[in-house]
Amino acid sequence: MSDHIPRILLADDEQSIQTLLSYPLQKDGYEVVRASDGREALDRFEEQAFDLVVLDVMMPRMDGLEVCRRLRAKSSVPIIMLTAKAEEIDKVLGLELGADDYITKPFSMREFRSRVKATLRRAGMSRDESEDGVEAEVLAVHQLKIDGGKRTVRVRGRDVQTTFVEFEILTALAKAPGRVFTRDMLLTRIWGDSAYRDPRTIDVHIRHLREKLELEPKDPEYLFTVRGVGYRFRDRATGD
């Protein structure tokens, strides 16, 4: 296992919130780099590598949603959005733009630390597995190829860019073709538990994957909906 110390970019325009969130993260052993607005967050991201980005939606100069969009255009770094209120539009937009998770204010410090730890644990496991050659197999199904070591996806001969969570969901499903996963099962598989999380976030990630992988997202070849239950991957034996 690597001795790498996770580095977190924390972007929030409220100094009190920065201090409140930074202290427990540093106590947990993480390095925290702060940014007070969207443009500063992008500048800090260009200066060094990060293992996780935490973005407040409402920030001056450039809001968190736009920062998320720009980061996602060039990086698959895990992103957690902080929404100021229980606005469904903020949650949906964040996920649509490529955020991996979101937390609605006000939230407990226990919830915040749980989300951060789970995301970094999964990301760290993926990195260590890649470096150590563990679970780095290549999954090839029909015209889809998933390289666990390189964390790359190709379909019909073209490269597909996936977010951190999209890749994890796709890999989890593809490793068990034909098996039905509930939303809670996928949440637990990706983040370690399903606490605090809205199962509908899985629906958004699955829809994004279909848009990237399927010729006809409404008539999928790879990712199937099992109504009232969850999702499954193409059965290798039957092809459906």
- At 149-178, the pLDDT tens digits run 888 999 999 999 888 889 989 999 999 999
Q: Are 207 and 220 in contact (CB under 8 A)?
A: no
Say whether both 24 and 81 belong to one domain: yes
- Residues of the chain with pLDDT > 70, as a percent, come to 86
Tell me how far apart the alpha carbons of residues 181 and 26 are, in angstroms, rounded to a whole number: 35
Q: Kindly report the CATH number assigned to the domain that includes residue 211.
A: 1.10.10.10
| Tally of structural domains, the chain | 2
Residues 83 and 174 in one domain: no
pLDDT value of position 4: 82
Domain end position, chosen among 129, 159, 178? 129
Query: CA 27, CA 163: separation in Å to the nearest integer?
Result: 28
Cα 131 to Cα 221: distance, rounded to the nearest angstrom: 32
Residue pLDDT, tens place only, 2-58: 578 899 999 999 999 999 999 999 999 999 999 999 999 999 999 999 999 999 998
Q: Is the pLDDT of residue 67 over 80?
A: yes
pLDDT confidence of residue 171: 93
User: SS3 of 42, please?
Assistant: helix
Q: Look at residue 199 in the predicted model and tell me its pLDDT.
A: 79
Residue 225 lies in a domain: yes
On whether residue 78 sits in a domain, the answer given is yes
- Min mean pLDDT across 15-24, 29-38, 125-134, 205-214 is at 125-134
For residue range 170-191, list pLDDT tens digits in order. 999 999 999 999 999 998 887 7
Domain that holds residue 107: 7-129
Nearest to 75 by CA among 149, 151, 138: 151
Domain-terminating residue out of 101, 129, 157: 129
Can you give the pLDDT at residue 240? 60
Q: What local confidence, expressed as pLDDT, does residue 235 receive?
A: 85
Could you tell me if 162 and 100 lie in one domain? no
Helix (H) or strand (E) holding 215: none
Same domain, 117 and 148: no
pLDDT given at position 217: 92
**Adjacent-strand bridge partners of 182:** 230
* Domain end residue (candidates: 81, 109, 129): 129
Q: What is the reported pLDDT for 51?
A: 94
Residues 38, 93 within the same domain: yes
Reply yes or no on whether the pLDDT at 237 is more than 70: no
